[in-house]
Structure 1
Amino acid sequence: MNIKDFLTPKNQPLSKTDEKIFKALKKYPSHMQLMTIQKLSADAHTSVASVQRYCKKLGFKGFKEFQFEFRNFLNQQNSGTNNQSNYLSNYIKVVNDFKNIDSTQIKSLINDLLQARITYSMGIYYSGLPARQLSLALKDLNKISFSASDYITASHWTRLVTKDDALVVFSISGDESGLKKYLSEALKKTDKTYLITFNDDTVLKRYFKHIIVLPGKAFVYNSSMDPQSLVLLFVETIIEQAINLTNNK
């Protein structure tokens, strides 16, 4: 059985809504390891109820049962080709490639973080922890900073952001549909805007002054592991450089 067969109902046709869910699952199947029903419904631009109905069409009681069986299916598919040593080797390669990130953009980000009146950082799902980590590290440097892990909270920043502030958004896939609705106005208020992503083709690039593309897109998209550790590592390198720059002044 291939992935298409697993995700297709046996005796029922896919509705237009089902097709959206099917495409979202097929695009990044390995993300199912840590996927929530809310995240899947957002990726598919549909509702939680629609995801539940889709799972039942596949013969499962609900999303939890579907998720469990889909994980097992993916693990069986990968057992013959993936192993721990391959994963670690690929992970280390991605980490080594961090030195190839555009140094000009890195310097710009660090300078803006240190000079900003206030830094606002946000990320949802896998990107929430890196955003919080950046905010806490800046506070340790006596810089005012706020973080958010959902768009509703971040939307309250719109009236607060000024041209002297920095706004940093973390997005693994670079396809967050809510950004335009909740943050587009805030992003227009300052030139110190940064998108940190693995996707060099992101549709969000037009909203930001600076785009920093992290290496390892293929590794992240094909891995069943949580990719936020790589983003956390990036934040750590940024903060380390910021500390060194501050101490040398």
Structure 2
Amino acid sequence: MMFTNIEITEFSDLEFSLYNFIVTHPEKVIYMRIRDLANETHVSPTSILRFCKKLGYDGFTEFKVQLKMYMNQTENLSFIHSTTSLTEYLERTMQHDYNQRISTISQSIAAAQTIIFIGSGTSGILAEYGSRYFSALKKFSLHINDPYFPMYTSSLENSVAIVLSVSGETESIINIANRAKEEGTKIISITNYPDCTLAKLSDYNLSYFVSTEYRETFNLTTQIPVIHLLESLAKETYKYINT
């Protein structure tokens, strides 16, 4: 991001008027002289210089250079094709004994009385999907997509939490998983990497090994592997329930 949340919260009313003009007219600002911007925003050149220095730039020229670089970076952003990500996932998972691990984890899920899916953001949406998919296959499940939800599992006997996180390092998710484990809940995590904190504290972990993608602060890593793993676990669990 060109402006951080911390910087924005510290803007004065005058600085907000500059900020609003810059973010809505960046293509004009990069070619403006400081006096041109002052006339457009009804702010003095001195105030613009103070604004730039507050953001860590030596002056208006350096600020414009950084703004132009940011615009070019955004315009030239490229993404990994979904087919490439899927191929990457399949090739890497074939190097691991996934079928046996899914079978072992599914037996544990089948034996549990309560299943709770946990995730936030995109992982929260998939937690809801996983809960619905398992419930449709006769294994009633709940989902929590608020990582700050006051969850206490000590009253639940033989419970399993299926925790979803791309990085496996989200503090709020790690906290809720750790609390559930301390209260006797078995933790099954689905993460991108097997050496993350969440994977290490889990009783079982499934990792999908795909290239991570970010746009600004947003994690755009494909979630196709997660859907595949959730559906595989659900179908395998259904098999054990009905044997």
Q: Per the shorter chain, which TM-score range? A: 0.5 to 0.7
Structure 1: runs of 5 or more not aligned: 1-5, 10-20, 22-48
TM-score by length of 1: 0.62
The one of 1, 17, 20 aligned to 1:61: 20
Task: Report matched runs for 1:144-183 at 5 Å.
Answer: 144-153=140-149, 155-162=150-157, 164-183=158-177
**Counterparts in 2 of 1:51 and 1:193: CA distance versus 1, 3 Å:** farther
* 1:128-181 Cα distance to aligned partner (Å, 9 max, x none): 12211221122223223110101232x32334343x111111001111111344
Matched, 1:233 2:228: yes
The aligned length equals 192
TM-score by length of 2: 0.63
Q: Distance in 2 between matches of 1:195 and 1:131?
A: 11
**Counterparts in 2 of 1:114 and 1:74: CA distance versus 1, 3 Å:** farther
The one of 107, 112, 115 aligned to 1:116: 112
- Higher relative contact order, chain-length normalized (CA < 8 Å, sep 6+): 1
Matched, 1:50 2:6: yes
* 1:23-81 Cα distance to aligned partner (Å, 9 max, x none): xxxxxxxxxxxxxxxxxxxxxxxxxx526348999x7439x869xx9996444334xxx
Task: Report matched runs for 1:8-27 at 5 Å.
Answer: none
Matched, 1:77 2:76: yes
Bigger radius of gyration among the two: 2
Match of 2:213 in 1: 221
The code of the aligned residue for 1:50 comes to I
What is the Cα-based RMSD across aligned positions, in Å?
3.7
Match of 1:193 in 2: 187
Q: Distance in 2 between matches of 1:227 and 1:133?
A: 16
Indicate the SS of the match to 2:20. Answer: coil
Q: Distance in 2 between matches of 1:127 and 1:192?
A: 19
Q: Distance in 2 between matches of 1:121 and 1:171?
A: 11
8 Å contact kept, 1:137–1:239: yes
Match of 1:90 in 2: 84
Structure 2: runs of 5 or more not aligned: 26-66
| Structure 1 residue runs of 4 or more that deviate by more than 6 Å after TM superposition | 54-57
Q: Distance in 2 between matches of 1:142 and 1:55?
A: 54
8 Å contact kept, 2:189–2:206: yes
Give the share of equivalent positions with the same residue, in percent. Answer: 14
Q: Is 185-194 or 111-120 further displaced after alignment?
A: 185-194
